[in-house]
Amino acid sequence: MRASGAQLAKLASLTETCDDELFAIHRVTTGRIQIASCGGASENEPVFYAVTLSAWELNRMSRRAVYTGSFDPISLGHLNVIERSSRLVDELIVGVGHNIDKQSLFTAQERVDLIKLVTKDLANVEVKMFSGLAVRFVRECGSRVIVRGVRSLGDIEAEFTMTLANRQLDSDIETVFLMADDQFSHVSSSLIKQIASLAGDEELARFVPRVIIPQLRAKIG
């Protein structure tokens, strides 16, 4: 199977090394893509492949991470982690945990909708609901990276314990920690629930995205 001229032109402009580091492009020739295997083929003994553009792009877009949490409600701290993470990967999936045994302010679907609302301008962010183990959800998403936000030393201890547990459950899943920006290090969903009924809109907007304040007010009463 031979690649088209348009496919070859686009392939030639892409990164020189596949994300999985199995193959490296050496040159693009008419109708064929000449590739030497990093696993043993030499420059003098190239391995030839005709790669379709869709397969190549799928490989190139393999840098996918998953940010899991309850997000009840989503805070400015959460949003900060989402925005920063989205700049580090090709695709970021925000996983909203659904636990029927846990009392929450917003339903899982409402939390999904709120996150979609505040991330609508982030083209590479997708929001999904999940239940069960986070590592299993990450695998189902085709990823090997969990993103976690850390606000304090207390968070680090708890996250360290969870990371060790996750590694026992799936040793191929890696956890990446992002430290909270200074202005968000004190913000938590539990704190937001405590102050929501007492704070004015301008005060509340220091903790949550302004666009979700009406929904938060409706829940708090």
Superfamily of domain 64-220: HUPs (3.40.50.620)
pLDDT digits over 15-50, tens only? Answer: 343 443 333 333 333 333 333 334 444 444 444 334
Burial of 42 (0-12, 13-18, 19+ CB in 10 A): exposed
Residues 160, 189 contacting (CB under 8 angstroms): no
| Residues pairing with 145 in the sheet | 174
- The rounded Cα 80 to chain-centroid distance in angstroms is 13
Structure tokens at 64: 């996918």
* pLDDT tens-digit series, residues 81-121: 999 999 999 999 999 998 777 789 999 999 999 999 999 99
pTM over 0.75? The answer is: no
Residues with catalytic annotation? 78, 102, 151, 189
Q: Which two tokens stand for residue 159?
A: 């996250």
Q: Where are the domains of the chain?
A: 5-60, 64-220
